[in-house]
Structure 1
Amino acid sequence: MSFDKPAVVIDNGSHFMKAGFACDNHPVSMFRTLVARPRNLVGRYGRAGHYEVYIGDEAVVHNDDMAVTPPVVNGKIVQWDNMERIWHHIFYRELKAAPEDRAVLLCLSPGAPIEEKIKCCQVFFEALNVPALCMQSTSVLALYGSGFTTGITIDLGWDSTDINPAYEGGLIHYAQMSTNYAGEQICKFYRESLASRGIDLGCDANEIIDAVMMNEMNISIDCSMPRRPVRKYAVDPRTKQKTDVTDETFMVSEMFFQPDLVMGYDTGYMPLHKAFLMASQKCDMDIRDELNNAVVLCGGLSMIPGLAERFRVELTDLVEKPVTVLTSDESYVVSWMGGATFAGIPEAQRMWVTRQQFQEYGARVVKNRMMF
């Protein structure tokens, strides 16, 4: 199957959408996975007259006066109307490309159920009228984006942190692990810690904390070492007021590796390095060395300075054999880059579903080709 124009690659993230063309080496568009509607429409059905709907970063701006909701929660699509609006927005506002002219490669969560994949086909073929669609796991595509087909991906996202081993492009489902904490839990800890000091960041708390995590956090290789006398601040974008968050930033950094110590109780969260070890040991011993030779950190939180180095140090005490941890300056889009690579592989064309095939065979062709 060959396409006249480069395919569109969409990474359906819980926190950020990433979209672009398979011929590029970086997404054309990145925006928050959010949709804002008037509050008086929430829970109502039927005709409501004309009203504005804001998507992505524009939705964040209207957080005060409108109901802002994410259509993707824990990697699963929960609001299909909003999700369709976002996909429509990607084609006509972000990429300025007609969907009927472009095949689409959609990056989905490794845990996406088959019902979700079938529904995606219905939306893309019947509402957007795309000629062909392929869906792949973000974890497998992260390996492709790093130049491997066998390895273990550690996806540090907004609402889940998942460890997913894959062998020759196929997920090893029984070895998948989750730490049960991610960016959302970290933001909650930030807010609660500041609240205990009588500090309220207001309705922009999540955006302020996001900025702190991306710009101020730095994970120490050894938490017992004396901290450098550097202060960390959260800055309100509206008032420019600074709040000292030095202690919170240090404690959150340790949450990846010592969650119970940071929270002060038995959280049920699993330290990152121990979750990796358990996922690795679940795999067959004959392929374990090959898997450990390509451990790919991906997702937004993987960009925190010092995280990869600390992860290597913690693994040294647990794993007897060497483990190769791969990072890059663009690990937050490595799954998208893997999708762009996958879309151009001739051998992968048999995994695409055309609109005509879906019309003829329906859910059966989706189950045959997209059971990742």
Structure 2
Amino acid sequence: MPTISRKGLLMPESPIRKLVPYAEQAVKDGKYIYHLNIGQPDIKTPEVALRAVKENDIEILSYSRSEGSESYRKKLAKYYNNNNINVSHKDIVVTCGASEALLFLFSSIMDPGDEVIISEPFYANYIAFSVASGVKVVPAVCSIEDNFALPSIDAFEKLITPKTRAILICNPGNPTGYVYSKKEIEKLASIVKKNDLFLVADEVYREFIYDGGTHHSIMEEEGLDEHAVIIDSVSKRYSMCGARVGCLVSKNKTVLKTVLKFAQARLSPPTYAQIASKAALDVPQTYFDNVLEEYVGRRNVLIAELNKIDGIKVAMPKGAFYCIVELPIKNSDHFAQWLLENFNIDGETVMVAPAAGFYSTPGIGLNQIRIAYVLKKESLIKAVHILKEALKVYKD
């Protein structure tokens, strides 16, 4: 019988989506599920974006340029300049989501067998992108004990080998909600310049910063033009996950030229989604102010409720809309499946994301879950209550 590739065997299942069959069965059995497992905001997509698609007068839905339409990239460049990121539209390649941007970048700057250092825990699909590219992930391990703060420069530099090509961060972080300070970005900048590496920042949650904090982009740093690459997306910023429009931003012309070759191979990003994304750039600051206020309230309610549960540990997120929770159990994969199959309160249960999939280090995160607080406060309170009661009866 023909066999699949080694790469296919190594490709991990999504810790976020692998429980979907159990959730579907739970719904068929009549249960209501509070979805804490996936970062799908319930915030309404800006009307201006939806209207731009509904009311356009396109007669032929044609290809755009492989790097994305010029009009969208020019408007996107203005957005970046308003956020202290001095770029032109020629520094941007539009992609089918941030995922495609990372896949193109990995293939552009690394060969099979090369290494990328990523602060851990990290967005689970980084592992999938590395497997698809034949790249090895080297984790810079962070701990819930100190709220997932960045390791020291010494710790980072000890991980660098002749195979290292890049350092990748997510800022603010998924799954931790950690926000990197200006000082930490400066430390990373010094490391990549010293060792001639790329510094890649997934900045899709840029607008979601809490408690008076600020976002410091890697492209605000002096002297990083040849090193810095931003990965971005409209998915979370405008609650447009289904648009599948992201981008890669860099002043390194060789990187952009190489990424463009991969972009040409897939022809172009979706035309309608670019129209919606361009229109979304017109939303006023009040939109983000209201969204931010809502997420701060949700975070505060979630953390307060979780802290009422004996035996758990939770990190305080400073951005994005996720947190890591350590539970008094041995295996969160089993626990998450058990919640869907065997536990409910008055026909209601919860779906969580087991956190081991957000680590590449074996044996870490087995007793942790990631929670996405993308539900209304009342639903979060009910969901945490279900978790609390479930932990009283669950046996590993």
- TM-score under structure 1 length normalisation: 0.31
Give the structure, 1 or 2, with the largest relative contact order (CA under 8 Å, sep 6 or more).
2
